[in-house]
Structure 1
Amino acid sequence: MLLRRLGALGGGAARCGLSLRRVAPLRPALSFTQSRGRAAAPPGDEAQPAGNHRHTVLLPRTSFPMKLAGQELLERELQIQRECAFDQLYAWQRERKAKKEFCLHDGPPYANGDAHVGHALNKILKDVHNRFEMLRGRKVHYVPGWDCHGLPIELKALGELQTKELTPLQIRQKAREFAEGAIARQRAAFQRWGVMADWQNCYYTFNGQYEAAQLRVFEDMHSKGLIYQDYKPVFWSPSTRTALAEAELEYNTEHVSKAVYATFPLTTLPSKLASISVLVWTTQPWTIPANQAVCFMPKLWLCIINISLALALALALSHSTFCLGSDLEGGVCQHPTISGKEVPLLPANHVTMAKGTGLVHTAPAHGMEDYSVATHFNLPVECIVDEEGRFTELAGAELQGQCVLKEGTATVISMLRAAAALVKEEECVHSYPYDWRSKKPVVIRASKQWFINTANLKDKAKEVLQKVRVMPESARASLLAMLDRRTYWCISRQRSWGVPIPVFYHKETRQPLINKHTVAHIAKVFAEKGSDSWWEEPLETLLPPDVLKKSKAGAVTDYERGEDVLDIWFDSGTSWAAVLQEADPRADVYVEGKDQLGGWFQSSLLTSVAVRNKAPYKALVVHGFAVSEKREKMSKSLGNVVDPDIVIHGGPDLAASPAYGADVLRWWVAESNVFSEVQIGPKALNSARESVNKLRNTLRFLLGNLQGFDPRTQTVDSKDMYYIDQYLLHLLREYSIKVTDAYNEFDCGRVIRLLQAFITRDLSNFYFSIIKDRLYCDAENSVGRRSCQTALEEILDGVTRSIAPILPHLAEEVYQHAPGHDDGETLFRSGWIKSSSVWRKPGLEEAVEGACAIRDSFLSSIPGRNAVEYDLTIAVEPGLLFELMESLQEEPTSTSSQLTELMMASRTTLTSALPRDLPSDTITNNGSFLINLEGGVIREDSAYTIAAVPISLSRCPRCRRYTSDTPECLCPRCQTVHGQPQ
């Protein structure tokens, strides 16, 4: 036989020819939309076996429910969590022996409210991968955590209080209570979603041990000169009275500013120019009182026009001349609103003609680029704005106390007008930074803050990022661009709820006292007592004599403790030092939303590179945001917020908001393209529920046909199995390999597409259609039926394991009903798909797919007719294809061969040539099938001809196939099974 000959080749056969499993058969056995009755119907007719034969047909039987909904669904999911010990699974897998460890470091969600769909997207995506890695035999390290400090929590904690006259400790107590309440609610939600973790041992950024680890990172960076104190312009939020980092801003593209064109008369003229004034444009006229210079680009051409203050800006160029920016060098201007103050004209590279006039008003205390100019030319940096966003006395009596973004701007414009310096005033709609928490505009103002010198870290950070895998790869460019834009990182905040910056100030000189001795001691105190000790303990405890001596400082009474706290991005960015295992404090992967490209991904990278010269992660997975089905950002004002708790448990109106359960929520996450924006709403959730129900129905069909089968004792040896059964196990192996690859790529959407294709194309539309007669009508213990059940059990097990990371509740429920398991066994403690290379047999694909190609020709010749009504003769010229078909039917004519089963006809004759005396009503068709084995070593294009004649036999009253001598008589197969001849 060919298969024996091919076996000697010592390798798998390449796929060849056409595959009819991609062509829907005439009567599909089970599709996702068919009812229970249709799924159970024997092949050949929808009618059931007649009379006393019905009880002899082995129809599917199972206690596995076809559908769960409403309260029954919710109770079943909770029951599964209890019976399968979801809460103990993480601890179990940590204790087992495993060769490899997998670490997914949890980016801490913010403890300032209830769980939302953004949390669901993130936590479920992480859990799917963790469960996959655990099933593969790895020891998963996943410690969930929470970001607990910061202004938003402080504001919410104080929001209900009538008085704000609280001590720092009182504020911290209120904030801690608020954060703890939010953590408890979020933790309960994550557990209900089925997220696997040790929920009793999470990490919290307000924990003393965590804070101590954070201070050790701070000390290391400070000792390397990467952390320093300076007087610089920073983003300042008047609404919350604190400095902000770039990552704490959001930009309002609809912000409206009053923009002005204003003149600065030249008092000292450049040698090349006559008497002129320079014209500047600014959207922040309130900064003009702080002006120290006007900047130009040396190589930029400028237009000199005759202009009357009463005229519009646009005048005929015939009255104009031109000069280079460099021609202005040496010029000095009169300040337009401060009498007697002169400001120089200076060259600067940041000046362009993209906006404005090509001349830039420069206020070093209120602009980052302006500050750079001041540093280069040694200009004064005078801040004229206080912490509440009001002009100070430095701005002059006319402006003092006015809000710079409101009445202060109007007053400055009036002053320009009075000085005949205002050329034009206009409203400008542009993008402007807002405080991400108060949703109010910020200003830039110079203040004394603590900074991280990111300029000295960026090159190394970029270098180590080259070794980090980024999914999707397109996110790498965004990460690098955001890193490039970060000139320095302000890490001090003027609040109470956070980790104190461990610094003491000399009461007279205001010089900071901070070194490795002071910080190490404070870290030790925090580890024992928490950071409340900064306010609770006497100064002598925080700054004891031995530390003062090592620091070569004076008496403890000379100092007072600082009042600033660390930026929460530094809090969370040092989580690698507090959470990851000491042996190799580097995670296999970080998984967060794209907003963390400028947030946690970056702060973690910078701190890790500063301390260890390497990234804290080997890979990054960057997912999109959850949006409405109209692709709108979710907001309460739009009424499009989707609450995951309502998704699972249903809303007040169950007709409008049904209870979908946790697995539907998880399917929604997995099915989505998480690398882009992820839509959620009734349409998406209903679609997810329908998909889960269809999958459930298919799994139920498999379970029903395994009734009475014990794989431990009744499995058929592979060499004795039907080819079609072996072939499906070969396809199962291919499926499992592709699914494993998709999980490795964090591509759950591809997992689901592979699953649906395998079930619809390979199982429902192909395999189930063919095997139903053998399953239902062969003898219960026959080799053919047990062969089929052997394949079905492997398929059920493989499919169930493949969807287990996504649908853990459904997978465990199926496992409870599946044969071959002892009571108390759970799927997640039994490993990944057990596919074997034994199913990659030489010639197996060619035999089945060759028969499918012939069947394809046959079916195409009888459109609209039932294949079982025909007597089929297949003529194949001598050669490889004939030998393959002969392996499926050794006798010339058969009603029960594997070839007949594949053809779905009632009788098949295999011959090398068609007889000449065919009936007149014979339908003939022909074709060819290309066999290509071992990369072309064996290659043959074989021709075949099919002759289909209406069957002359009668319909068997039991199996409904045309294989009986008379209508009342059972066919030979059914006579044997039924136990008596009819």
Structure 2
Amino acid sequence: MLLSRIGALSPRRAAARPGLLLRCWARSAGSAEGGTAEPSAGPGRVGEATKYRDSVLLPRTNFPMIVSGQELVERELEIQRLCGFSELYAWQRARKAKKEFCLHDGPPYANGDPHVGHALNKILKDIRNRFEVLRGRHVHYVPGWDCHGLPIELKALGDPAGTKDLAPLQIRRKAREFAEGAVARQRAAFRRWGVVADWDECYRTSEGRYEAGELRVFREMHAKGFVYRDYKPVFWSPSTRTALAEAELEYNPRHVSRAVYVTFPLTTPPAKLASSAVNWGSVAVLVWTTQPWSIQVNQAICFMPNTQYSLVRRADSSQLLLVATECIETLAAKLGAQLDPVGTFAGSELEGGVCQHPTVPGKTLPLLPGNHVTVGKGTGLVHVAPAHGMEDFGVATHFKLPVECMVDEDGRFTETAGPELRGQAIVAEGMDSVISMLRAAGALVKEEDFVHSYPYDWRSKQPVIIRASKQWFINVDSLKDKAKEALQKVRVTPESARGGLMAMLDQRTYWCISRQRSWGVPIPVFYHRETDEPLLNRHTVSHVAQLFAEKGSDCWWELPLDSLLPPEVLKKSKAGAANDYVRGEDVLDIWFDSGVSWAAVLPEADPRADVYVEGRDQLGGWFQSSLLTSIAVRNKAPYRSLLVHGFTVTETGDKMSKSVGNVVDPDTIINGGEDPSVSPPYGADVLRWWVAESNIFSEVQIGPKALNSAQENINKLRNKLRFMLGNLHDFDPRSHAVDPKDTHYIDQYLLHLLRDFSIKVTDAYSEFDAGRVIRLLQAFITRDLSSFYFTIIKDRLYCDAADSLGRRSCQTVLWEILDGVTRAVAPIVPHLAEDLYLHTPGHDEGETLFRSGWMKSSSMWKKPGLEEAVEGACAIRDSFLSVVSAHKAPEYELTIAIEPGLLFELMESLQEEPTSTCSQLTELMMSSRTTLLSSMPRDLPHDALVTSGSFLINLEGGVIREESAYSLAATPCSMSRCPRCRRYTAESLDCLCPRCQTVLAGTK
């Protein structure tokens, strides 16, 4: 036979796909997949149908078609207990495995209840981890929580003002209790979702052991010169009284600032312009600012060296103003006055000019070049307040200007601002006072409201300011080149996220890591009582780290100073006595806390994770802090790949908000709400299916529509799997399985398709593409199984003898398909998969799916010639069904004529006799009798339906190509319908067909 000698085949072609076939069960119409309906005898033959009912082997299973409501919830919990969900992680770590897969869990914040953002992230990780467990790898997945920081402190204490009266240890105790409660609730939810993890060894950034590891990383970074203390402007939150990092800001695009146009009288003209015929004594420099309060601490005015400037005269007052030439037209409209140019010159010629401060008598301000000046808004000249602007600070550093901060931690003017302003809030009454002072000095030209994007504290939702203070920093500028080089070796999915990572690294020059709070890891520094010089070195940090490991970081406040600075440490540090110092009061930025998790959690042998998986907000957060700390200490990234997913939103695309009331609660999704008709219990698998099916790289929508769709898809899958399960009720693969090489060709063909399916599913999971897994699964079940294979095999399954080769062949393949599909979907819906596994025959008592391995497929299933044989037959059947409706196909006998050649030999492998009612070719054709000839008979009946077509055979990569023509004739059956199997193969209406007679005779 050709099937035994043909070489490797080309891939299946779309033209030969059986997906075009109509769904039809021609052998035993009326039985739905998964149902238990029996063949209908047709009008007038009810008695005959009843007579043979018990002899038809219909599907039989106690696996329910649908489980819903509270029953579903209870069944999932039962499956978790029966199948050892909580023990799976320890089991897989204890078994022998050649490869390790490490997914490092980014710590969720322990400041509230679990939400759907948690569900998206944790389930996405769990799908991949479960896949790796099935593949036989050691999965390293230690869940953790970020437990420090101001949001926890605020929620634990309520009103921030109340914290002033509490000692640090009181604040820490309340914050710790709050965080532990949040951790407990989140952990319980994650476990209910079916997440497999090392729940016994979770990490928390507030644990002493973790904190000690964090200090050791800090020690190494300080020893290498990356950590330093400096006086410079940082983002400061007056509402929470602490410095902030950029990652802790959110920008309000509708913030309204009080912007002003202010004049600064020119007292000394620029040297290059002094000789020009201009009355420089009447010239004023016009400045626009959105922060009028900062004029009080102004030290200079900057211009753009490469921009053209002009002196203009106001037509309504004859006042001479210095502005950028490009801004004249816009300014005239803003001020409502005609501005006539008097003279024009290059910006570089302004250097050397000096102005008078409008509200501080005797204070002069130099005109200085500044590359940060723009002409998009304002006048092309900006005032410089070095203590309250990053770029201003750069100008001050370059020109050695004083950096004077007149604003305290509460955002109020200090005594140095003068008695008129002392104690006033700079964004409230202090702003009013400064504007009034400008107006009184005749310097205020115009005041206006200006709407723009402005940074807010992401915790308190209040505006921040920029304020100079002594803080601890990491020199990102010295790390970023190495970090960017390391990122080039990291796989980033989606690739577009790499640009965001690089851009955020480029934007940072330093990272402020000190916070003025109590709830966090103390910066292990001591300050000299008299000089304020910090005592910080390898010896002091190592000692404090050891104390933290033993006692936790509360000991920073609990222990006496001589315990924190014992004599031996002071001696090694070449310092004085312990009482010469005071302990520092700042704590480390929580992004530093979580950013060093690689050092505390990852395997010591190779502390580098295979993948980090977090939302896109972590591009400037955890992804970056982890990278910078790892590069600083180890010169390499802590991850080999990154997966960056989107955020969850409502089905209308809106951000979820408790105040709006549109939050989707995962607990309500799983267990249902107060009114089940409004919020039915979906169970955890529906939540998991939603995650898998979503496009995780965009905004992920969730709501009733998405959840109902997920539930419907799971029920459809359940029904198809139940159909296979029902047809295995009398099958045990250990004793009934047929060797694949002895199975029917159509059965072998399905094994061939199953192998292709398993390869594609494996690739999809390996690429974190669970959505592709679902698409592959649905296509395989709908096209290859339901619309094709199930349609063909029902007669053999139901009406052949129970132990016949044909039926066992079909059951063998059904068992393989059921097993493969169950394993394929198991990482996504583990509760359903384990439940199916419990009902599937051939498993030992107590055996569970996740302890039994991945999809099993054999290269032997790719049998040479098999694909062409079956798909050639399917092409012929498509031609047949183009002239005969599918449900009428069993009423016809088919004659197929093919000229001698490859296609004829392939069809001969499916039917060795010229004419047959029970050949594999007849089964594929769905006719009652098939005749295979090399030419069409001339004496065809007058009512024969004739058609023709061709099929291209492409073998051995195109080495063998042959297009074979075929013709076929369909004629109404000459025989009667069998009352048992309903095929037209009986001698008379009252007689069983030969096949059914043999089957019934064998059961007596």
Partner of 1:281: 288
- Retained in 2: the 8 A contact 1:540–1:556? yes
- Retained in 2: the 8 A contact 1:28–1:764? no
Partner of 2:787: 765
Aligned partners of 1:868 and 1:853: how far apart in 2? 18
Deviation of the 1:961 alpha carbon: 1.1
Deviation of the 1:44 alpha carbon: 11
1:90 corresponds to 2:89: yes
Q: 1:514-558 CA distances to partner (integer Å, 9 max, x unpaired)? A: 001100110011111110010011111110001101111111111
- Retained in 2: the 8 A contact 1:146–1:183? yes
Aligned partners of 2:4 and 2:34: how far apart in 1? 42
- Retained in 1: the 8 A contact 2:115–2:666? yes
Aligned partners of 1:469 and 1:303: how far apart in 2? 53
Aligned partners of 2:843 and 2:574: how far apart in 1? 72
- Retained in 2: the 8 A contact 1:906–1:961? yes
Partner of 2:420: 398
1:307 corresponds to 2:314: yes
Q: 1:122-165 CA distances to partner (integer Å, 9 max, x unpaired)? A: 11111110110111010000110111111111111111799541
Closer, same or farther: CA 653–265 of 1 in aligned 2, 3 Å: same
Partner of 2:167: 167
Q: SS where residue 380 of structure 1 aligns?
A: coil
- Retained in 2: the 8 A contact 1:16–1:932? no
Aligned partners of 1:598 and 1:499: how far apart in 2? 21
1:485 to 474, 482, 507: 507
Q: Which amino acid aligns with 2:938?
A: R
- Retained in 2: the 8 A contact 1:16–1:930? no
Partner of 1:691: 713
When the two structures are superposed, what TM-score results if normalisation uses the length of structure 2? 0.95
Partner of 2:858: 836
1:778 to 792, 800, 808: 800
Closer, same or farther: CA 34–512 of 1 in aligned 2, 3 Å: farther
Deviation of the 1:320 alpha carbon: 5.5
Partner of 1:19: 16
Q: 1:650-670 CA distances to partner (integer Å, 9 max, x unpaired)? A: 000111000000110111111
1:616 corresponds to 2:638: yes
Closer, same or farther: CA 26–693 of 1 in aligned 2, 3 Å: closer
1:386 corresponds to 2:415: no
Match runs of 1:625-636 below 5 Å: 625-636=647-658
Q: Which amino acid aligns with 2:52?
A: H
1:918 corresponds to 2:940: yes
Q: Which amino acid aligns with 1:909?
A: T
Deviation of the 1:315 alpha carbon: 5.4
Partner of 1:234: 234
- Retained in 1: the 8 A contact 2:208–2:552? yes
Partner of 2:660: 638
Aligned partners of 1:142 and 1:413: how far apart in 2? 58
Aligned partners of 2:958 and 2:160: how far apart in 1? 81
Aligned partners of 1:24 and 1:248: how far apart in 2? 58
- Retained in 1: the 8 A contact 2:26–2:926? no
Q: Which amino acid aligns with 2:750?
A: L
Q: Which amino acid aligns with 1:115?
A: P
Deviation of the 1:282 alpha carbon: 1.3
Deviation of the 1:43 alpha carbon: 9.8
Deviation of the 1:217 alpha carbon: 0.4
Match runs of 1:388-537 below 5 Å: 388-537=410-559
1:797 to 808, 819, 840: 819
Partner of 1:366: 388
Closer, same or farther: CA 504–436 of 1 in aligned 2, 3 Å: same
Match runs of 1:5-16 below 5 Å: 5-6=5-6, 9=7, 11-16=8-13
Q: 1:795-854 CA distances to partner (integer Å, 9 max, x unpaired)? A: 000000001111110000000000100110000000000011111111100000000011
Aligned partners of 1:166 and 1:810: how far apart in 2? 52
What percent of counterpart residues are identical? 72
Aligned partners of 2:949 and 2:904: how far apart in 1? 14
Deviation of the 1:38 alpha carbon: 6.0
Partner of 1:81: 80
Q: 1:312-333 CA distances to partner (integer Å, 9 max, x unpaired)? A: 5365576454322112111111
Aligned partners of 1:318 and 1:307: how far apart in 2? 7
- Retained in 2: the 8 A contact 1:876–1:944? yes
Partner of 2:809: 787
Partner of 1:54: 53
When the two structures are superposed, what TM-score results if normalisation uses the length of structure 1? 0.97
Q: 1:906-949 CA distances to partner (integer Å, 9 max, x unpaired)? A: 11111111111111111111110000001111110000001111
Aligned partners of 1:55 and 1:79: how far apart in 2? 35
Aligned partners of 2:337 and 2:937: how far apart in 1? 100
Closer, same or farther: CA 949–586 of 1 in aligned 2, 3 Å: same
Aligned partners of 1:247 and 1:45: how far apart in 2? 73
Deviation of the 1:39 alpha carbon: 7.3
Deviation of the 1:617 alpha carbon: 0.4
Q: Which amino acid aligns with 1:21?
A: P
- Retained in 1: the 8 A contact 2:519–2:587? yes
Aligned partners of 1:687 and 1:896: how far apart in 2? 42
Q: 1:587-608 CA distances to partner (integer Å, 9 max, x unpaired)? A: 1110011111100000000000
Q: SS where residue 386 of structure 1 aligns?
A: coil
- Retained in 1: the 8 A contact 2:892–2:970? yes
1:332 corresponds to 2:339: no
- Retained in 1: the 8 A contact 2:526–2:584? yes
Aligned residue-pair number:
977
- Retained in 1: the 8 A contact 2:757–2:780? yes
Partner of 2:217: 217
- Retained in 2: the 8 A contact 1:574–1:608? yes
1:296 corresponds to 2:295: no
Aligned partners of 2:234 and 2:939: how far apart in 1? 98
1:899 corresponds to 2:899: no
Partner of 2:670: 648
Q: 1:480-532 CA distances to partner (integer Å, 9 max, x unpaired)? A: 11111112100000010110000001111111110011001100111111100
Aligned partners of 2:34 and 2:563: how far apart in 1? 79
Aligned partners of 1:774 and 1:596: how far apart in 2? 57
Partner of 1:269: 269
> Which range is displaced more, 319-328 or 840-849?
319-328
Structure 1: gaps of 5 or more residues? none
Closer, same or farther: CA 851–317 of 1 in aligned 2, 3 Å: farther
Partner of 1:661: 683
Closer, same or farther: CA 244–37 of 1 in aligned 2, 3 Å: closer
> Which range is displaced more, 848-857 or 18-27?
18-27
- Retained in 1: the 8 A contact 2:315–2:337? no
Q: 1:863-894 CA distances to partner (integer Å, 9 max, x unpaired)? A: 47511111111111110000000100110111
Aligned partners of 1:44 and 1:90: how far apart in 2? 54
Closer, same or farther: CA 734–981 of 1 in aligned 2, 3 Å: closer
Closer, same or farther: CA 40–465 of 1 in aligned 2, 3 Å: farther
Q: Which amino acid aligns with 1:580?
A: L
Deviation of the 1:419 alpha carbon: 1.8
Aligned partners of 1:170 and 1:528: how far apart in 2? 21
Partner of 2:909: 887
Aligned partners of 1:434 and 1:28: how far apart in 2? 66
Partner of 2:122: 123
C-alpha RMSD of the superposition: 2.0
- Retained in 1: the 8 A contact 2:315–2:338? no
Q: Which amino acid aligns with 1:748?
A: A
- Retained in 2: the 8 A contact 1:87–1:198? no
Aligned partners of 1:834 and 1:35: how far apart in 2? 29
Partner of 2:321: none
